[in-house]
């Protein structure tokens, strides 16, 4: 068994919730996933994470979104732990290295997105350039509110998977 998973399976509940919250900022998600312990392997944890995520409310999804900084920024609206902040910086590495013009366009597009949808733009940024992210943001501005919320929730699910794997050392 993965040593991180083994230790986490045996941790007291409050500690387990606190630790896994670095992977997804929705409290209900952290509580329910931790409440489903013990997990036998990484695959069962990932499956449970997805099942819990799909059963959450839009309010929970928005809570998770708020734990992320805007694309191109480093601070989240809601307090995020040190591990979550570190992962956000890693995930946005290509954005941080982009030219000022693209960064300015992203900042402007982020503001327009927030005015339209009422929450920050969530995208699984790992491996994507700033220009790719800007194109995705522009495309998603065409979504209606419900479609966009579902698409953002799926992006958050993908981010959560990546973070769970990092947390487990995979």
Quote the tokens at residue 93. Answer: 């590495």
DSSP category for residue 36: T
Which of the following is catalytic: 22, 45, 68, 84?
68
In three-state secondary structure terms, 23 is coil
CA atoms within 13 A on the CB side of 39: 23
Q: CA separation (Å) from 11 to 18, 37, 117, 129?
A: 11, 10, 38, 38
Q: Name 76's bridge partners.
A: 69
Alpha carbon distance 103, 143 (integer Å): 23
Quote the tokens at residue 65. Answer: 């979104």
Alpha carbon distance 151, 101 (integer Å): 27
Quick check: is 119 catalytic? no
Q: Give the residue numbers annotated as catalytic, written as ranges.
A: 68
């Amino acid at each position: 068994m993965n040593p991180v998973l083994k230790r986490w399976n045996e941790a007291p509940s409050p500690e387990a919730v606190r630790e896994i919250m670095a992977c997804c900022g929705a409290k209900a998600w952290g509580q329910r996933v931790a409440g489903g312990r013990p997990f036998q392997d990484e695959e069962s944890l990932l499956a449970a994470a997805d099942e819990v995520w799909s059963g959450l409310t839009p309010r929970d999804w928005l809570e998770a979104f708020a734990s992320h900084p805007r694309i191109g920024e480093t601070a989240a609206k809601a307090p995020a732990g040190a591990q979550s902040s570190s992962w956000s910086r890693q995930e946005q590495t290509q954005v941080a290295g982009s030219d000022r013009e693209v960064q300015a366009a992203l900042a402007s597009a982020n503001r327009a997105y927030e005015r339209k949808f009422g929450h920050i733009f969530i995208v699984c940024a790992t491996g994507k350039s700033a220009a790719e992210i800007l194109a995705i943001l522009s495309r998603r501005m065409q979504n209606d509110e419900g479609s966009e919320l579902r698409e953002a929730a799926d992006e958050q699910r993908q981010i959560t998977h990546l973070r769970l794997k990092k947390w487990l050392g995979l």
